[in-house]
Amino acid sequence: MSATAAPLTAEEGAPALPAAGSSFYTAMRLLPKERREAMYAVYAFCRSVDDVADDGGPRDLRAAELDGWRADIDALYAGDPPPRVRPLVEPVRRFGLKREDFIAVIDGMAMDAAEDIVAPSEATLDLYCDRVASAVGRLSVRIFGMPEEAGIRLAWHQGRALQLTNILRDIDEDAARGRLYLPMEKFHRIGLMTPTPESALAHPRLGEVCAAVAAEAEAHYRQSWAIIERSPRRATKAARLMAAAYRLYLDAVVRRGWAPPRARVKPGKLALLRVALRHGIL
């Protein structure tokens, strides 16, 4: 999971804010004040545990720190929250946020902290996507005010759509850190049986693997939009903007292709502005 703004500490008295101009920041600005502040508190939590997973320190220390976050979430739900999770007290109370979703996020970060993920099985990749993205979605849709059943289904599909998009966008950056999130089974289909980040990205048939993952992401976007279009518009405004903005990234990497050198893609400001205008209006 990636984030773009350094979190404020508990002593500074405010949750982290996402980077101004980011899709997430724009989407959250569409929410009423109490829902927006709740999302910022969830964002700060996610950013903090993400930083633990990615800080590059000794793995045993990262594991211990994540265990500390699990203990803090348990204390939060026991009614005795430590300072760094106190910003979550009101969101949990007001919106019925579930302990198991916070724990799932921590467990997802622990997958990155325990070892560098390299060509996981499709089942492991799906579990990773559920923990680092769809669990965040389950927290989010409750804050947005979506009906429970539709909200959980939206979180399931949209979380996977966004995370697979991130994986495709960031394959070179991840490889530089020794990570490869593309699934093992898809490499087997092109004859690469024991992929490493280096061998996978240099393989002449890498595009087939990436195209297959992109097709799965696209299917999740279609399912997300089907749910969004059947749901109350006010409660899905932020989800619509996120889905539309991230789809621009997927389209951009597909258009760019997978042959090296792969330039970093970013949708144009005009395209992002059109998305914001279209989905930021009731």
The CATH number that applies at residue 190 is 1.10.600.10
- Residue 260 preceded by cis peptide, ω within 30: no
Over residues 106-125, the mean pLDDT reads 97
> What are the residues whose beta carbons fall under 8 Å from the beta carbon of 280, sequence distance 6 or more?
26, 30, 237, 241
Average pLDDT, the chain: 90
Higher pLDDT, 210 or 23: 210
- For residue 101, give its domain range: 17-279
The answer to whether residue 9 sits within a structural domain is no
Q: Is the pLDDT of residue 4 over 50?
A: no
Indicate whether 5 pLDDT > 50: no
Residue 271 has pLDDT above 50, yes or no: yes
Global pTM value: 0.90
Please report which confidence band the pLDDT of residue 270 belongs to, taking 50, 70 and 90 as the band edges.
confident
pLDDT of residue 22: 59
Identify whether 218 is part of a domain: yes
What is the average pLDDT across 109-135? 97
Neighbours of 84 (CB within 10 A): 18
Residue 5 identity (one-letter amino acid): A
Q: Is residue 8 part of a domain?
A: no
pLDDT digits (tens, 9 = 90+) for 55-75: 778 999 999 999 999 999 999
Total tally of structural domains belonging to the chain:
1
Give a yes or no: residue 108 inside a domain.
yes
Could you tell me the pLDDT band of residue 281, with boundaries at 50, 70 and 90? low
Q: Are 268 and 255 in contact (CB under 8 A)?
A: no
- What pLDDT was estimated at residue 17? 54
